């Protein structure tokens, strides 16, 4: 009984060592096949680029918030292809501005920018691309390694000469490998999502000249309120300073009177 348990333990240790090593070439081969297929389909080496666009749009101030909402609505309706709203910010009041961030299918980027800038101008635009080829390769290698490891562990789990301790260790390792596999698959899906769709951020703001005119107009409109506020603060300041002035006057008067007495006594 003891020798069988020892042999099973040694076999389990050897299997775990083999499962954890020597899988990279197979994973790399799998990745190489995927990469070759993607490049053959696109005819270029840009199969693993994740694009991000940042666009500044200038619109009449009274249209800023409505246009930002229109962009969000178009994204929710998938008007220009698959689209998800990732974030939105709006600022009303004196300085109206807004920004919307979406993840959209590549063919929908330009139509969405066209919708955002209709009746306005594109003030700025920048595009950057992150190469995820290494990340995709490493993820594919890890997935292949875990797949093979789990296959071997499950085959080994069918053996009937395992001790209780070996079975417990084997079950724990399978559970850990499955959890690791799920995490790596989620990471791979996120990579694929970033490659298949593009990040677009649109910032809305009024033209600089209009913003300046708007500020002047608001200043004129607020003239009465500002004058009233300034007058109120001046009255409060006088009410605060009058007692201090009386005290200062009394001190100066007392000092002068004391000096006169000293001169008279001398």
Provide the mean pLDDT of the chain: 80
Residue 25 has pLDDT above 80, yes or no: no
DSSP for 117-141 reads HTTSEEEEEEEEEEE-HHHHHHHHH
Which stretches does DSSP call E strand in the chain? Answer: 49-58, 83-91, 97-104, 121-131, 198-205
Q: Averaged over 141-157, what is the pLDDT?
A: 92
pLDDT over 90 at 83, yes or no:
yes
Are residues 199 and 52 in contact, defined by beta-carbon separation less than 8 angstroms? Answer: yes
Q: Round to whole Å and give the CA distance between 242 and 236.
A: 10
Q: What are the contacts of 167-176 at 24+ separation with CB within 8 A?
A: 169/12, 170/12, 173/16, 174/150
Tokens encoding 249:
């006057």
Query: In whole angstroms, how far apart are CA 103 and each of 44, 92, 100, 187, 199?
Result: 23, 25, 10, 17, 5
Of 73-82, 132-141, 157-166, where does mean pLDDT reach its minimum? Answer: 157-166
Q: Residue with structure tokens 């635009």?
A: 125
Whole-model pTM? 0.60
Quote the percentage of the chain above a pLDDT of 70.
76
**pLDDT 10s digits, 229-246:** 778 878 887 777 788 777
| pLDDT at position 187 over 70 | yes
The DSSP secondary structure of 30-50, one letter per residue, reads HHHHHHHHHHHHHTSS-TTEE
Would you give the DSSP letter of residue 79?
A: B
Ordered by start, the domain boundaries in the chain are 2-43+139-191, 49-132+198-210, 222-265
N-terminal to C-terminal alpha carbon distance within the chain: 125
pLDDT at position 266 is 56
SS3 80: coil
């Amino acid at each position: 009984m003891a020798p069988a348990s020892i042999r099973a333990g040694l076999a389990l240790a050897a299997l775990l060592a083999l499962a954890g090593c020597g899988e990279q070439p197979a994973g790399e081969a799998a990745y190489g096949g995927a990469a070759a297929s993607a490049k053959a389909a696109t005819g270029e080496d840009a199969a693993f680029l994740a694009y991000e666009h940042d666009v500044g749009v200038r619109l009449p101030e009274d249209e800023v918030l409505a246009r930002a909402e229109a962009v969000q609505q178009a994204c929710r309706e998938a008007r220009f292809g698959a689209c998800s709203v990732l974030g939105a910010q709006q600022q009303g009041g004196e300085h109206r501005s807004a920004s919307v961030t979406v993840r959209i299918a590549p063919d929908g980027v330009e139509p969405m920018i066209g919708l955002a800038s209709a009746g306005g101008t594109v003030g700025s635009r920048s595009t950057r691309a992150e190469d995820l080829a290494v990340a995709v390769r490493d993820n594919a290698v890890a997935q292949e390694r875990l797949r093979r490891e789990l296959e071997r562990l499950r085959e080994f789990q069918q053996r009937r000469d395992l001790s209780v301790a070996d079975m417990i260790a084997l079950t724990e390792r399978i559970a850990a490998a499955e959890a690791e596999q799920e995490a790596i698959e989620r990471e791979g899906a996120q990579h694929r999502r970033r490659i298949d769709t593009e990040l677009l951020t649109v910032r809305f703001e009024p033209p600089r000249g209009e913003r300046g005119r708007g500020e002047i107009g608001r200043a004129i409109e607020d003239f009465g309120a500002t004058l009233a506020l300034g007058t109120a603060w001046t009255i409060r300041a006088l009410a605060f300073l009058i007692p201090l002035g009386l005290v200062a006057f009394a001190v100066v008067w007392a000092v002068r009177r004391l000096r006169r007495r000293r001169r008279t006594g001398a």
